[in-house]
Amino acid sequence: MTAVLALWLWGSGSAPQAPPPSAANCAALRLHDRSAAATACYQALAASPRLADQAEGDWGLGLYDQANTAFRAAAAQNDASAALRVRWGRLLHERFNDTDADGLFQEALQRDPKSADAYLGQALVSADGFDGKALESANRALELDPKLAEAHVLLATLALEDSDSAAAAREADAALAAQPDDLDAMAVHAAMGILANQPADAWLKRIAAVNPHYGQAQAAIARQLVLHRRYDEAVNYYRQAVTLDPELWSAHSELGVTLMRLGDDASSRQELEAAYDHDYRDAATVNSLRLLDSYKNFDVVRDGPVWLKLDKKESALLAPYFEKVVEHALQVYGAKYQMTLPVQPSGFAVQVEAYPNHDDFAVRSVGLPGLGALGVTLGDVVAMDSPSGRPPGDFNWASTLWHELDHVYVLTATHHLAPRWFAEGLAVHEETQANPEWGDRITPDVLVAIQANRLLPVAELDRGFMHPAYPNQVIVSYYQAGRICDYIQEKWGAPKLVEMVHDFAVPTTTPAVIQQALGITPAEFDTRFFAWLRQQLGAEPANFNQWRTTLKAMAAAPGPAAVIPLAEKARDLYPDYIYDANPYGYLAKAYLAQNDPEAARQALATYQKYGGHDPDLLRQLAKLEPPADAAATLDRINYIYPMDAETHRQLGDLWMQVHNTAGAVQEYTAVLDLHPLDRAGSEFHLAQAEYAAGNLDAAQDAVIASLVAAHDYRPAQDLLVKIMDAKKGKTP
């Protein structure tokens, strides 16, 4: 033991000044940039006969497996120790195992219900998962130990994520009062300044004075910038972090994920591989590397400044439809915001990526699977689910894309300073401005939240997105934010929303912009908005319980005669309900059973008007409509689920009937892009459309393709003769 301790000298003098080795002492050495001494300290701990010390020593030396083993043995020896379990849980939390970490914090609390450190551990785990419980657990920790600096830092970080600078400053100051050299608290202050476009040099100097190699401060700043969607700046800070501390593998990984978000795949891979090769293998690192590997399966379709990154299996099919939506959006938003998106050094002004595998999209967005969103805007890159990535009718991809493209403009125009509620609200609002059938209708979750008065004041609405306090609060917040923008447009006019975009282009707050742009206080705004919303919704929230009972009875009704009155009642109580078991589908079925196709058509047309997007119901509607209307209905399906060859073929036929040959060409081409079994027939249809459009060369190519697949195909043979006669100037 003496020999071991003799190796563990710290300080610059020749005389040993060895305090008793403890994890806290070792950590303090490391915090103060005394790396060699810290290493010696941890080595001494690792050599201790006490298992708990061994665990701490191994952990400090980066020997995580040994540390875990030692903690397990120590815990077996000392079943009563809460502190031991907290430390073990912290190790597991650091090494990407939050599930077991949380279990250990719970075990600790069973042994010591007043363990502030255990509550802090729980708070850290919750915060990693953006769980609203983080706040509750951190506050509980501080009730038990008001001087627990790390809990104050966590609260400060969470407040800053919610753009609540005042609370962030208060908590960071509390941390510094408890622990004056708390570098993480200083980093919160620095981040606050940077987010407000204010100089943060003073705080960064204070940090450097304590530890010139403390890259974690820059990494924490970068993390806040990412959460505020300021990705380019985040990359700069992550780079500073790894320059200060080249072995800060978590920062390498986060830098890699952020670079991937920005579309810099090569640099991203370099950083992620560096982290992975040094045993930093959290889910985000591993998933992101896998995703980068999968990019060989993607095409990049370039249409001027618009680049589409689409899976090779579906790029030919989807590209024309995506291009159409993006081009239209660029025209509309360009005029509205009076700006042209700048072309990036990479060559694009906007890149849209569509992922057939939802988990790939989630990894692309946040590094982890399980993301509930449909699309994410990462600067000038939009990543989203491909229409093939979700069941038919699950979402309207064009509406999602339109939403995300609004973000590209608003984030560019505001230098990424727009608060989340405003960016999301405006994007939701723009969906329905572009097409009244787009955008999300009010869902039962939202109705319940409104009934329970769970909408947030506008000044606090960001919290509903960042740290939801109840299930589906994010959905509720999207709805509320969208309706706020609807309200502003209705009461102050559309230019007011554009004015607010410009107001948010400098560091400011929501209350300040509400006051400045609308001339009323946020509280007054809330009062007026809630009154307007109640008026807009009419009786829908109050009808909710009755609607639910009626819908249930409708679903159980024995036949058309019983279904119709119940379905009509359910529809009238809550007409916006277009989701599973909606009354419109029941009505159509019942009317058809009663041989009343016109009533069925009307029911389904209303469903469509309310934004219904079940392709089966829309196809049913098309069958009941005259050709031009039917074509318009089937065309809508292209923006919901364009993966069905038969729908494209039917739409092609309808376009031919109404003499829209260009539309027919596009639809028959889509059929071919879906690799139909009947290739000859599909090529023939395309040839007919090209011929009708007067595109003789293209018609010839298609009919040749048809006849190569089916030499004896007599209609195609006849068409070839007609095409060649037409090319020679002969009249058919």
Partner 1 sequence: MKRALLILAVFATAVLGASAQTWYVTVAGLGGEPDYTQRFNADAQSLDKLFRQAAPADHVITLIGPAATRETLHQALGQVAAAAKPDDDFVLTLIGHGTYDGVEYKFNLPGPDVSAAELAAWCDRIAARRQLIVDTSSASGGALAALQSPRRAVVAATKSGTEKNATVFARYWAQALQDPSADLDKNQSISAAEAFAYAQRKVADFYTSQQRLATEHPQSSNGKLLASLTLVRFGQAQRAYADPAKRALLDQKEALESKIDALNYQKDALPDEEYKTQITALLLQLAKLQKEIDQ
Nearer to partner 1, 286 or 707 (CB): 707
CB of 703 to partner 1, least distance (A): 8
AA letter at 20: P
Chain-centre distance for alpha carbon 384: 8
Q: How many CB atoms lie within 10 A of CB 163?
A: 23
CB of 717 to partner 1, least distance (A): 4
CB of 671 to partner 1, least distance (A): 14
Nearer to partner 1, 368 or 696 (CB): 696
Tell me the angle at which helices 283-294 and 358-366 cross, rounded to the nearest 10 degrees.
Answer: 120
CB of 723 to partner 1, least distance (A): 9
CB of 353 to partner 1, least distance (A): 29
Number of chain residues interacting with partner 1 (CB under 8 A): 22
Site for partner 1 in 380-419 (CB under 8 A): none
Contact 548, 536 (CB under 8 A): no
CB of 396 to partner 1, least distance (A): 23
Residue with tokens 């305090």: 19
Nearer to partner 1, 512 or 710 (CB): 710
Residues in contact with partner 1, shown as a per-residue x/- string from 634 to 673 under the rule CB under 8 A? ----------------------------------------
CB of 652 to partner 1, least distance (A): 17
Site for partner 1 in 15-54 (CB under 8 A): none
Strand, coil or helix: 247? coil
Nearer to partner 1, 104 or 707 (CB): 707
Q: How many CB atoms lie within 10 A of CB 42?
A: 27
In the structure encoding, which two tokens stand for residue 7, read together?
């190796």
Nearer to partner 1, 612 or 681 (CB): 681
Q: How far apart are CA 256 and CA 549, in angstroms?
A: 51
Is 296 a binder of partner 1 (CB under 8 A)?
no
CB of 622 to partner 1, least distance (A): 17
Residues in contact with 524: Cβ distance below 8 Å, sequence separation at least 6, in sequence order: none
Nearer to partner 1, 534 or 727 (CB): 727
| DSSP structure string for 403-419 | HHHHHHHHHHHTTT-S-
CB of 722 to partner 1, least distance (A): 10
Distances (CA, A) of 378 to 325, 372, 384: 19, 16, 11
| DSSP structure string for 528-592 | HHHHHHHHHHTTHHHHHHHHHHHHHHHHH--SHHHHHHHHHHHHHH-TT--STT-HHHHHHHHHH
Nearer to partner 1, 73 or 709 (CB): 709
Q: How far apart are CA 699 and CA 622, in angstroms?
A: 28
Q: How far apart are CA 447 and CA 544, in angstroms?
A: 7
Chain-centre distance for alpha carbon 577: 25
Nearer to partner 1, 253 or 688 (CB): 688
CB of 695 to partner 1, least distance (A): 15
CB of 612 to partner 1, least distance (A): 22
Dihedral angle of Cα 288, 235, 274, 212, to the nearest 10 degrees: -140
User: What separation, in Å, do the N-terminal and C-terminal C-alpha atoms of the chain show?
Assistant: 105
Site for partner 1 in 690-729 (CB under 8 A): 700-701, 704, 707-714, 716-718, 720-721, 724
CB of 280 to partner 1, least distance (A): 40
CB of 732 to partner 1, least distance (A): 15
Nearer to partner 1, 480 or 688 (CB): 688
Q: How far apart are CA 459 and CA 228, in angstroms?
A: 16
Q: How far apart are CA 616 and CA 580, in angstroms?
A: 12
Among 149, 169, 93, CA closest to 124: 93
Contact 577, 441 (CB under 8 A): yes
- The phi, psi pair for 303, rounded to 5°, reads -130, 85
Residues in contact with partner 1, shown as a per-residue x/- string from 304 to 333 under the rule CB under 8 A? ------------------------------
CB of 712 to partner 1, least distance (A): 4
Site for partner 1 in 253-282 (CB under 8 A): none
Nearer to partner 1, 138 or 703 (CB): 703
Nearer to partner 1, 598 or 712 (CB): 712
Site for partner 1 in 668-687 (CB under 8 A): 677-681
Q: Nearest 5 degrees, angle CA 406-CA 407-CA 411?
A: 125
Nearer to partner 1, 569 or 619 (CB): 619
Contact 33, 213 (CB under 8 A): yes
R_g over Cα of the chain:
31
| DSSP structure string for 318-357 | HHHHHHHHHHHHHHHHHHHHT--PPPPTTS-SEEEEEESS
Nearer to partner 1, 11 or 715 (CB): 715
Residues in contact with partner 1 by CB under 8 A are 677-681, 700-701, 704, 707-714, 716-718, 720-721, 724
